[in-house]
């Protein structure tokens, strides 16, 4: 694990003998998992969420992260929890959901269950610009992908208008090269193409692993996800090797389901899933 200033935004909530490793999304922060984690902890679960490598820092740091670094961090976190807790679940959002599946592949028989929140395999949401297809033509060129930063746009993954207004005020005024403590709360206002490329590489890895993953899985995905359509959740449901699998569609959220209108339903479904295992 890294030892830097950003690590103070991690959270560890001690509970019972069932533990949950929470994994936030790429360019995101532990804050997007805090409400979800607190809900699980109130139900008796031990919860840990680490800041992913090079996150909650400068944009220049963020664009240097690799999917392998993120995986190594999550592997270390899982092993640490497993040393103390007999049962460990993994719950991640977006790319974090894929990382949870990757851990279940690497630690076959050791992951008690996977909670995949808005898993991201295809960027095909209704709010994405049509120019997204052009990115695939240039992101393999290091000089180009390291220079391009994509500004996060409306509706910022949120259907809840009050939450959206709060994040919009920060995102609209954010400038490249100027860091803000609000990044810790809302995540990076820019999505570096370099990070998108790392996500692309990691998707190819996870797709090859899906059929061999046998851990129970709960997939929660909004039918109106602005970034990645529910086709993502359906693809995982159809291709994962888990005999125990459930896909639950949500109707009052966009992409950030852990902090949007369905956040209580998301936490409840996760608790129900883990309680029966």
Contact 231, 202 (CB under 8 A): no
- State the Cα–Cα distance between residues 250 and 259, nearest whole angstrom: 13
pLDDT of residue 178: 45
Q: What is the pLDDT of residues 7-47, one digit of tens each?
A: 678 999 999 999 999 999 999 999 999 999 999 999 999 99
- Smallest Cα–Cα separation from 202: which of 55, 69, 12, 35? 69
pLDDT band at residue 112, thresholds of 50, 70 and 90? very high
* pLDDT at 150 exceeding the cut of 90: no
Query: Of 67-71, 110-114, 151-155, which gets the smallest average pLDDT?
Result: 151-155
Give pLDDT tens digits for 260-271: 999 999 999 999
Average pLDDT for 156-163: 93
Residue scoring higher pLDDT (2 or 215): 215
In the numeric block, the tokens 């719950």 are attached to 91
| Strand locations in 66-225 (E) | 87-93, 111-117, 149-151, 190-192, 217-222
CATH homologous superfamily for the domain 5-275:
Alpha/Beta hydrolase fold, catalytic domain (3.40.50.1820)
Dump pLDDT digits (tens) for 183-232. 555 677 888 899 999 999 999 999 999 999 999 999 999 999 999 999 99
Q: Which of 2, 114, 39, 109 is nearest to 264 (CA)?
A: 39
pLDDT of residue 57: 82
Q: Is the pLDDT of residue 122 over 70?
A: yes
With a CB cutoff of 8 Å and minimum separation 6, the contacts of 8 are none
Show me where the domains of the chain are located. Answer: 5-275
d(CA 93, CA 77): 16
Q: Of how many residues is the chain composed? A: 277
Which span out of 7-11, 112-116, 132-136, 169-173 was modeled with the highest average pLDDT? Answer: 112-116
pLDDT band at 6 (very low <50, low <70, confident <90, very high): low
What does the alpha-carbon distance between residue 251 and residue 245 come to, in Å, rounded to a whole number?
20
Among 269, 265, 255, 259, which Cα is nearest to 122's?
255
Q: Convert 149-158 to b/e letters by CB count within 10 Å (16 or more is b).
A: bbebeebbbb
pLDDT computed for residue 169 by the predictor: 81
Q: Tell me, what's the pLDDT at 131?
A: 63
Cross-strand pairs, 111: 88
């Amino acid at each position: 694990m890294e030892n830097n200033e950003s690590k103070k935004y991690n959270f560890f909530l001690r509970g019972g003998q069932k533990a949950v490793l929470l994994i936030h999304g790429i360019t995101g922060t532990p804050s997007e998992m805090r409400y979800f984690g607190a809900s699980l902890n109130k139900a008796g679960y031990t919860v840990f969420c680490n800041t992913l490598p090079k996150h909650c820092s400068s944009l220049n740091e963020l664009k240097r992260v690799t999917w392998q670094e993120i995986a190594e961090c999550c592997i270390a976190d899982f092993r640490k929890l497993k040393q103390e807790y007999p049962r460990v679940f993994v719950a991640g959002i977006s790319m974090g959901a894929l990382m949870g599946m990757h851990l279940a592949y690497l630690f076959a028989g050791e992951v008690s269950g996977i909670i995949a929140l808005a898993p991201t395999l295809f960027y095909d949401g209704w709010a994405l610009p049509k120019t997204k297809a052009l990115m695939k033509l240039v992101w393999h060129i290091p000089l180009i992908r390291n220079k391009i930063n994509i500004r996060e746009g409306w509706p910022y993954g949120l259907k809840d208008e009050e939450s959206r207004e709060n994040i919009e005020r920060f995102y609209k005024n954010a400038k490249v090269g100027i860091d803000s403590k609000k990044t810790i709360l809302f995540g990076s206002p820019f999505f570096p193409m370099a990070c998108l490329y790392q996500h692309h590489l990691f998707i190819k890895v996870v797709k090859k692993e899906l059929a061999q993953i046998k851990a129970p899985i709960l997939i929660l995905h909004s039918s109106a996800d602005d970034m990645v359509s529910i086709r993502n959740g359906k693809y995982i449901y159809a291709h994962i090797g888990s005999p125990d699998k459930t896909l639950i569609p949500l109707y009052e959220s966009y992409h950030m389901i852990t902090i949007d209108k369905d956040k209580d339903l998301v936490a409840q479904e996760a608790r129900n899933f883990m309680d029966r295992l």
